[in-house]
Structure formats: C-alpha cells, structure tokens
Structure 1
C-alpha cells in the first residue's frame, strides 16, 4: 500500500530555492552598491568601459532571473535547475568583469557547487514542446531586434563616422542584442543610444520570453480509452451514491488517474500548472489512499500544484492525511424529497411563483433522456443552446458541459412549455447513485414569465417519489455561512466586512443570488472543501479554478450543440 507523504516539496528543495532567490537579490545589490574606485580602474585596464557597463546590466538581469527561478526550483523542475546552474556560472564571470568582485564571485561559486551537488532533487518531467516554443520565441524576438537595429543604422547612414559597410551594420545590431557595442561609430550620442536601447530591449525580451516559456508547467490532454470509461461507469454504479459530484467525472476534459489496483480513481484537469481535481475520489473509501497517492505523485513528477475543488468531508480528511491543507469552500444545497412540500409559510414565495406560472398555462414534463424521441431531444438541445447566457459554457466541478449525448441516457430532464406549447425552459439532472439527482444544467427563456425556475424545480421535487428519487442536489453556494451569519443578530465587524466583499463579488459571479435561490427550497446544507498544499499556492489555484469554471478567459469548451442551428421560432415550437 502507498504510504501517505507530505504534499509539500522536500524541505531541502525549498531551502535551495530560497537560497537561489537570495543570491539573485545579492547579485542586484552588488550592482547598486558602489565599488571602490581603485578596483574599477584595475578592471578597466583589461576590459573596455562598454564591457564593464554591460556586465553591470547583465548582473542585474541574472539576479532577476534567479529570483524568478525560485518557484520552479521549489517544485523540482529540472529545467529550472539547468537554467539556474547556467546563470550562476555566468554570474561568477560577471562579478569579475564588472569590478573584480571576488566576494560576490565566491558566493556564486558556492551556490553553483550546491546546485551541482543536489541535482538529484530536481527531476520534474518537462514538456518537450516548450523547448521548441522557447527556441521559436527566442529566434523570433532576436530576429526582430536585429532587423530593427539594422534599419535604424541604415536610416542614420549619413551620420556615421567613417564608411562602415553593411557587414559592420549587421555586427553592430547583433552585438547590441547582448548589450555590447559593435564596430559602428555614431556622430551623435542620441543615435547610438537609440540603436543600443532598441536592440538591447529586444534581446532582453527574447531571453525573458524564452525563459518563461521554457519554465512553463506542462499540461496534459485527457486520454480516456474505452476500458477506462467502462471501469469508471462501473465504479459510479457501485459507489456513485457517496458523492453528488461523482457523475461529473465523466466530463471529457478530465483525465483519470487510477489506484494501482484500479479500485478507485481521481478525475482531474491540468490548468495553468495546477492539477485540479474535483469532488471525491470515485470508488470504495478504503481504496482512496492509493488513488490519492498516485495523483499526488503524478503532480509532483510534472511539477504541478495539486488542488481539490469541492470535495466532501470524508475526502477532505483523506486528502489531509496526505499533507494537503483543507478549508471550507461553501455548502451544497440538498433537498430531502420526502420532506419537501409547497405548504407552509417558509415556502410561501415558491408556492406563489409556482401557482402564478400554472395559472398562466405553463406545464412541466419530467422525463429521462432515453425516453425522448430523436426529434424531441434535438429540439431540447437547440433550445439549450439558444437559452444560454453568453457564448461560454461555464462549469467544471459541478457541470457536465454537454447535453443530449447518448452516453447520458439516464439523465433526467425537466422541459417547461407555455400555454402555446412552446419550450421556454429546461433543467438537466445527472444521476447521483441509484436514488439521487444532481442539478447540472439550468436554462430558461429570458422573456418567459417570472417563476420559471421555481416551477421546474418544484416539478421534479414533487414527482421524486414516483421516480424513485429521495434526494436532490441543487446549486453550490460559495461561502454560504457568511451570508447566513451576516443576517443574524450580533454579526461581528470581520463577518460584516466579508459579507460586503462577497456582495461586491456577487455583481460579477452571482454568489449571493445562488445562495438565495437555493435557500428558498429549505434544503439541508452539506459543506464542501478546498484542498491545497500551502497558502502561497492559493492565488495560483484560484486563477486555475476560475479558468476551469470559465469565469476567466479560456478556449471555449465543446458546445452543447448537437444539431444544426435553427431560428428561435423553429427551436421553441
């Protein structure tokens, strides 16, 4: 059995990363602090003034790059180690050239020895494609800088000393990319500075962009064979009732990593260097440690930051045993269908909305996808596409992001028609074990009467006993406890501040409205958790999660479209 280990990088690796960053800051400091005049004069007996100035500039650049490399070294990236070794070796020579600084060169030499002695700690697999992209970027920006510098020299051809030829122009432009002066002499300082700044800036840009691309974390395209898909569905049939998010592991943009005995699996997606899992591992709880261990080992091998979005209580404890920190992310609204009723004062608002819609002639049909005809399903798919708010298909942790797929025949649909028989709204619920449903898709015609959502949700809850459903999971409410406690008497200033911040965020992401829309059905609340390695990783994880959920720009996910587009009249009729 795989034994739990810390999700944090080894302490020695973190220490090395910090030492490299400190050395980078030290390099920058050696340039800022003035050198003794005698030492500079001694150096200039062997090195021209332009070389000394270039060494000062290059030392600053090397220092900044060493600071940047710290994050990659902390994650054990082999390429970060290789670049750090090269930069540290270069800094030794630069310290000697810029001022014969033996102390700084000695510090760099000690750092170089330390890096060489600990190379076995940096084994993260690099993405081969990044190497060629980095070379392409380096060549592209360097070529652009060379051409710009050459053109600037050509424009000033009548303001040059002597008659340098085209070859000299090319040498001047090429050497300018690395901050050196070439054979061309300008009559005016302004012209020389313009060429130097243009070529030098392009050279730095080429090196910087290439380095960023080279050190970018790799990604992974989900590859799911037929056997893996079949095994996943088998596990969902046997253990899917444990987690309302289990069915969403069938998303095609999620990769699967299995326990060695294939008894359990973790579904995840790599987003911006974050291996982002969602929900609980699928399988018996006794097999979770092996699957979690395999997933964390895979993330460590590729230098990805592991994170779990929206797991339950039992999974949170399992991830914590593997060294991840766990914080509450929010609550999931779960309705007990046996206890649901539109009667009573707490349900007054929902009851009034439902009755108003029924008087207006709206009716709901609750049906499994497999029971729809091809024509009916195609119309529902086109309506879902038409009703979508915006071009982006949102969702990751609690969304399937497809509709009408033959693989989802067990999904339950609620189709709402008006008195003319026009389809005005629809819901899709995915299976949650044998006796549960989890809300996936909610779409409605924005011109329909107010109360459309209440009518559709109430329809499925009222017919639940007939369908053999005893629990229904509705939307997830982020930081629900903040909204709930802020309404209570005696809420403190910190809680009120949190509440105000969430209200501001709600203008973009509808956080409060989702909570209010769930609360009206009187659900029970099940906490969901976020798991992560360290607090410093939270900004990176937050960006990855928002990107995966399509709240930040990202390539569009496959559309729900399953049939050719039609105009509104044809779709809704």
Structure 2
C-alpha cells in the first residue's frame, strides 16, 4: 500500500514511518514503533520473514501471545528511543560517527524480534539463557561498534531492554537466577568474547560502508591514488613529499597481501580463542600478550594523533578522512576491557601441555623465519629491477623485520624499498604472512596435544591393571585427567596421585594384586619421602585402612559408600515402595531406560545431556567439585556406560553414568558416578534409573552395584570404631556443607535401595601434616574456585 516493498519507504513515507532523530523531532513519536513494521528492500523483507518464522514464532509459542505482544511493543519502543538518545548524544561531540548517526533513518523489524527473544530468556533454563544472551549480545555489540549504523544500535538497545525487562514482561524461570557455571562453560563464553572482538575487525575490513567507532579496517578499501610506477615519479619531486607519503601509505595498505598481513593479529587471537576454549594456559598467555601489544600500539597511535596536527600521523587510520582522537581512544578502551576480563579469569586456564610441547613451535617458527629471510633476500637480489631502487642485500635484510609487521602499523616509517613488478610485490607482501601462518598452525597443533598429566602410555598400563587383576569399586576414577601415576618396581601395582601443598594425594586404593598391597603401600610411601612429599591415601577401603592403622598411620572416615548386592535382589515389600512407585510412573508416562555411551549417542541426545549438566551446575551458583566427583569430561571414556531416562519424543529427562569394575578380566560390577536430571522433567527419574540399572546388571550376572560414596557423610553403625576429635571435626564440616552440597541428603536418598554401607577412609602417616592435607584436599575438589565464588559459598553457609 505504501509502495515500500522493493526499495523500502520512499523519502516522503520515511519521514512518517522511519525512526530517526529528525523524524522523531518533527513530532512523530510513533516512528519508534512504525519503523519495526518496514524493511529497507525486498531482500531484507525476505530475510526478516525467515527470522520471524525461525525465532519470533517459537518465542510466542513459549511465552504466550499476550506476553509476546507486550514484550515486542515494549522492547521495540524502548530500544528505538535509547538508540535515538545515543545518536543525539554522540552528535554533540565532534566526531564523524555521531554526525552520521544523527542523519540516519532506520526501518528494521529485527529490533523487536531480538528484544522479545532476549526477554523470553528470563523463563528459559539456565544454560540456554546464558548461551542465547551471550551469543546475541556479543554479536550485537560487535555490529554496533564496527558497522555502527543506527539500526545496529537500535537492535542492541532493544536486546538490552529485553534482558533487563524480561523478568517483568515474561516472568522468571522456575530455577531462579544463574549464579555460576561450570568451568567448561565459562571458558567457552570467554573464548567467544575474544573471538567476537576479533571477528569484528575482520567484518569491518570487508564492509567499506562501516561507520562504527571500531571500523578502522574499512580504510583498506580506500582507492589507491597512484600505481607503483606513478608513485616513483611523484616521490622524485621534493615538492610533493607529503603527497608521496600519502601515496606510499595507500599503496602499502592495498591488495590482498597487505590485507592478510593486517588481519594476522586477528587470526592469532582467533587461534588463542581456541586455546581458551580448551582451558590451555598457553592460549591464555598468547591472548594476553597479543592484547597487550595491541594496547601498546593503540596507545602510541593515540599519543601521535593527539600531538600531531597532520592527520597522516595516525598509526591505525593513516590519512583516512574519519581519523580522530575518539576513534583512537575507543579501540584502546575495548582492548583494555577484554584484557581485564582475561586477567580476572586466569584461574580458568591452567591446563598445561607436557614438557617439550612448545620448543617445536618456536623452532618451527624460527625455521620458517629463516627460510622466509633467505628467500626474501635471495630472490629480492635477483629481482632488484622490480623495486623502485636497487635494494642490495643489506637493505633487504634490514627490511625483513618490517615484513613481519602489519602495514597499518608502519605508516610512521619511510619504506626502504617499494615493489614495482608483480613478482617483487608477491615477495614483498607475502614473506611475513607465511611466517605468521606457520606460527598459527603450530600453535593450533599444540592446543591439541594431551594436557600435562595425561600420560597415554601410563593410562594404558593402569587400564590393564584395572582389567586384571582389577581394582576396587571406586578404582576407575584413577583414569580421570589430572592424575599422575606411580608404578611399583615389579609393575604389579599402580597408584594415581596428584601433588598439592607438598602432599601426594592419591585417588582410591592402590591398583593391583591385593595379596601384596602392604608392600605396594610401603614402596609408594618411600617414593613420596624421596620427593619430599607427605603421602595421603584418600578414598580408600577397609583393607587399606587396616594396614595403615597397623603401621600407626592416622585413619579418618571421609565418606560412605553404598553397595547394592544383586544376588536375590527384588524390589518387593514396603521398604522398596518409593522404587516401585518410580518404576510404575515411568511405565505410565512412557519413560524408558536406555543404555548408551557419549561416543555412540546421537548428537541431539548429547546436546541434551550437556544442557542438563550445565543447568545443574549453573543454578547451584557454586564451584563444581572434581577429584572423586566426575563431570561431563569423564563421560567421554568409551568404557563408561550411560543410562538415560528418555521418553517417546526422545526427550532426555535424566542421565546417569556407570563405571566398570573388573576382576581377573571379567566385569563383576558397575559403579554410579554422574547423576543429573532435568529440573522440569520426570521427577522420580533417579530412583527409576538406579532400579533399572540394578535389574539390568542382575540379568547380566554381575555381583553388585556401587552407588559410589557420599563425601563427609556416614551411616550410623553400632560397630563403628572409636571416634576421635578429627572425626568430630569432619562431622561438623559435613553438617556445615550439607545445606550447600547436600552430601548427607544424597546418602539418605541412596538408602531407599537398602544398600550395604562401606566406610571410605583417608589415611596418612603424620598428624602434623593435617593442615597441608586439608589444603590439598580442598584444592583437589575445588581447583578452580574464584574469590567471588568462595565469598558466595561463605555467605550461603552463614545464611543457612
């Protein structure tokens, strides 16, 4: 009806329906909302229609039509109003971006679509709430800072309005606000922020019309005023020195080679983001040092811009027509903000590569540099006629370090030579690029090297011992990452341990022949003494505790293991009433128990498992515990079985993992480790899964099912050994942590299956080392706890 389909609203229509400072100032406040009903052309209409169908329709289905309408109207109005306010404020300061924003008009339905999407995250599960908010906001912030058009600012403002107003517009999630997250998820989000800050300049480099505060790289597409040979003639005239300089800068910034070299810092940061995602300390160092170098360059450029009147003095922007101090200051502040995030999150990136991983990286890079230098000097000497002057070997050798620096940072320096022919240009522009590419490839490979403590050969030997002669019900935990391995002199025993605060803290009993357990413990204690460590055998069973007490070691019960004997098991009688109720409800609701592994499970099922786990961790708002408590990473073991509670729609309600227990090469039992359920799923899912696992194990002829240990919890027994002051202290600690981690409630839950109780001990030779052992155990269980998380933990304990 308005003729706005093919090319958007005409100027006469736009002043009545498009959002802009002038149209709003003309007394048309409705443009805040009418601009969300138009697009700028047929292609945009088609794309927006796809987004509406893919995003807006599912959001309306989730939150209801009434809330959807209110959220769309509010976020569109608030977002457009805030964007116009920003444009008005930005135009009061002398800068090109503000002036252009002031003159822009916008028609864009994506603002209310994104605003409503972000508002609806208030009622989503924690994992998806965090993921959607982070992904969308990082993308929109990047677009606003680099592309910088009024529609980009409007979308960002509408999305922010959705996040802030979402709880009032759409309600709140039943799980409450997110207070924390797993280390894995935090690493991913920080890597995402770094990657987005990198992709922004790359997008701007390929967007000549970008006007945002960080759109510096669009100058790469400025028209070059002279060819290389024409520039020789210009520079030959002393009166044209300034014109010569401008021409040299433009020529050095044009073409594919300079573009690639200018993008190399961004590519290096993308490589570091992959390391951050994997938790690698080397990736963190690479990102920190790269941001530090970029901050130094930006600061130098800011000083040059502020002290020099000649606009060509800017390191980042050269002679670009939009150069100004504010454009230098904004990238500097953005880089500083990201660096602060990296420094504050250092504790998340402590995964280190084994010794010997990085010398090949440096040697390979130096080798590439040596080859590039020889080729540049040798071929450059042969192609001396291809440069604007006879370079000579020394001149080329002196110029080689400059080939490693992006041309955008060389604008304050006169080039010793300039290429004239295609062959010389190829040599001049690509020698440094190849060195950087070799470095990036080698760094990427280093991030894929198994982490320190992941000794493939040692793990293979440990697994052989776990199969035959076998270990205890908890021994499979020794295969988890983070453990080092000691092997006895006869290779018949192995001990998994980790060293903290001078304490060699073991994971479970020594693995191997039970008949010679005493000799293995003595030999391991001697090994610790040679290294100046205090041995502490943690999470061990009664046989090891008996040997330790006989040798005068201190013995403390730190957990209670529950074991279901499968011989003659039948869920009958009043004591199994809860278990039978769970099984009956599962049949009625169409929920079945399905065995699989993380490797064999379909991608859709794996995604649901990850979502359930991350939601469980995030909503606790407290650090995720490790050491003897497994997480997602431990599910990747192909010998670990998963048992899922899954309905007819392939909707996963809960997941449990079961570690194998072998004796003389035969599977004799399964041990429960990972158990997490969906907050809004089948409620008695854990009772159902454990009962189903017991029935399946019974059919396979297994001996028992271990429900693993509950730390700092113990069942009351009349035959308990004499209690000491340390036992009383651990009991007090268990009661204190119960409201937060619920270990005693976990033990009470397991009692539904009428298990056999087996105490789990910590034994050590020197009581004076108990403070150091306490630090070691705390660090083992909470290796990544931050100051803020510790403060929240203490506050919650005091509150309870």
> Against the structure 1 CA distance between its residues 336 and 445, is the aligned structure 2 distance closer, same or farther, given a 3 Å change threshold?
same
1:475 aligns with 708
Q: 1:331 offset after TM fit, Å?
A: 2.1
Q: Distance in 1 between matches of 2:673 and 2:526?
A: 31
Q: TM-score, normalised by structure 1?
A: 0.51
Question: In the alignment, which of 509, 512, 516 is matched to residue 280 of structure 1?
Answer: 509
RMSD between superposed Cα atoms in Å = 3.5
2:780 aligns with 548
Is 1:394 equivalent to 2:625 in the alignment? yes
> Against the structure 1 CA distance between its residues 464 and 482, is the aligned structure 2 distance closer, same or farther, given a 3 Å change threshold?
closer
Q: Please give the secondary structure, in 2, of the residue aligned with 1:316.
A: helix
Q: Distance in 2 between matches of 1:446 and 1:520?
A: 21
Q: Distance in 2 between matches of 1:495 and 1:298?
A: 28
Q: Distance in 2 between matches of 1:268 and 1:497?
A: 25
> Against the structure 1 CA distance between its residues 469 and 395, is the aligned structure 2 distance closer, same or farther, given a 3 Å change threshold?
farther
Is 1:409 equivalent to 2:638 in the alignment? yes
1:13 aligns with none
Q: 5+ unaligned residues in a row in structure 1: which ranges?
A: 1-219, 486-493, 556-573
1:32 aligns with none
Q: Please give the secondary structure, in 2, of the residue aligned with 1:456.
A: helix
Q: 1:343 offset after TM fit, Å?
A: 1.6
Question: In the alignment, which of 501, 520, 530 is matched to residue 291 of structure 1?
Answer: 520
Greater Rg by CA: 2
Q: 1:335 offset after TM fit, Å?
A: 0.5
Runs of 4+ aligned structure 1 residues displaced above 6 Å come to: 494-501
Q: 5+ unaligned residues in a row in structure 2: which ranges?
A: 1-354, 356-450, 719-725, 788-800
Question: In the alignment, which of 538, 541, 545 is matched to residue 309 of structure 1?
Answer: 538
Q: Verify the 8 A CA contact 1:394 1:401 in the aligned structure 2.
A: no
Q: Please give the secondary structure, in 2, of the residue aligned with 1:244.
A: coil
> Against the structure 1 CA distance between its residues 366 and 244, is the aligned structure 2 distance closer, same or farther, given a 3 Å change threshold?
same
Is 1:328 equivalent to 2:588 in the alignment? no
Q: Please give the secondary structure, in 2, of the residue aligned with 1:262.
A: coil
Q: TM-score, normalised by structure 2?
A: 0.37
> Against the structure 1 CA distance between its residues 386 and 531, is the aligned structure 2 distance closer, same or farther, given a 3 Å change threshold?
same
Alignment of 1:13-412 (within 5 A): 223-240=453-470, 242-320=471-549, 323-367=552-596, 372-373=600-601, 375=603, 378-379=606-607, 382-383=610-611, 385-390=613-618, 392-397=623-628, 399=630, 402-405=633-636, 408-412=637-641
> Against the structure 1 CA distance between its residues 324 and 397, is the aligned structure 2 distance closer, same or farther, given a 3 Å change threshold?
farther
Q: 1:397 offset after TM fit, Å?
A: 2.7
Is 1:538 equivalent to 2:766 in the alignment? no
Q: Please give the secondary structure, in 2, of the residue aligned with 1:399.
A: coil
2:678 aligns with 445
Q: Please give the secondary structure, in 1, of the residue aligned with 2:762.
A: strand
Question: In the alignment, which of 655, 661, 676 is matched to residue 432 of structure 1?
Answer: 661
Q: Distance in 1 between matches of 2:763 and 2:687?
A: 34
- Show CA shifts across 1:380-407 (max 9, x none): 65345434423854231353762442xx
> Against the structure 1 CA distance between its residues 497 and 323, is the aligned structure 2 distance closer, same or farther, given a 3 Å change threshold?
closer
1:504 aligns with 736
User: Quick check: 390-399 or 331-340, which moved more?
Assistant: 390-399
> Against the structure 1 CA distance between its residues 385 and 484, is the aligned structure 2 distance closer, same or farther, given a 3 Å change threshold?
same
Q: Distance in 1 between matches of 2:549 and 2:488?
A: 18
Q: Distance in 1 between matches of 2:640 and 2:496?
A: 20
Is 1:459 equivalent to 2:692 in the alignment? yes
The structure that is helix-richer by fraction is: 2
> Against the structure 1 CA distance between its residues 475 and 246, is the aligned structure 2 distance closer, same or farther, given a 3 Å change threshold?
closer
> Against the structure 1 CA distance between its residues 373 and 445, is the aligned structure 2 distance closer, same or farther, given a 3 Å change threshold?
closer
Q: Please give the secondary structure, in 1, of the residue aligned with 2:492.
A: coil
- Show CA shifts across 1:203-256 (max 9, x none): xxxxxxxxxxxxxxxxx995454432222111111122x401111111121000
Q: Verify the 8 A CA contact 1:361 1:418 in the aligned structure 2.
A: yes
> Against the structure 1 CA distance between its residues 384 and 432, is the aligned structure 2 distance closer, same or farther, given a 3 Å change threshold?
farther
- Show CA shifts across 1:83-110 (max 9, x none): xxxxxxxxxxxxxxxxxxxxxxxxxxxx
> Against the structure 1 CA distance between its residues 400 and 509, is the aligned structure 2 distance closer, same or farther, given a 3 Å change threshold?
closer
- Show CA shifts across 1:171-206 (max 9, x none): xxxxxxxxxxxxxxxxxxxxxxxxxxxxxxxxxxxx
How many residue pairs were aligned? Answer: 327
Q: Distance in 1 between matches of 2:462 and 2:532?
A: 26
Q: Verify the 8 A CA contact 2:613 2:632 in the aligned structure 1.
A: no
> Against the structure 1 CA distance between its residues 401 and 374, is the aligned structure 2 distance closer, same or farther, given a 3 Å change threshold?
closer
- Show CA shifts across 1:146-186 (max 9, x none): xxxxxxxxxxxxxxxxxxxxxxxxxxxxxxxxxxxxxxxxx
Q: Verify the 8 A CA contact 2:557 2:759 in the aligned structure 1.
A: yes
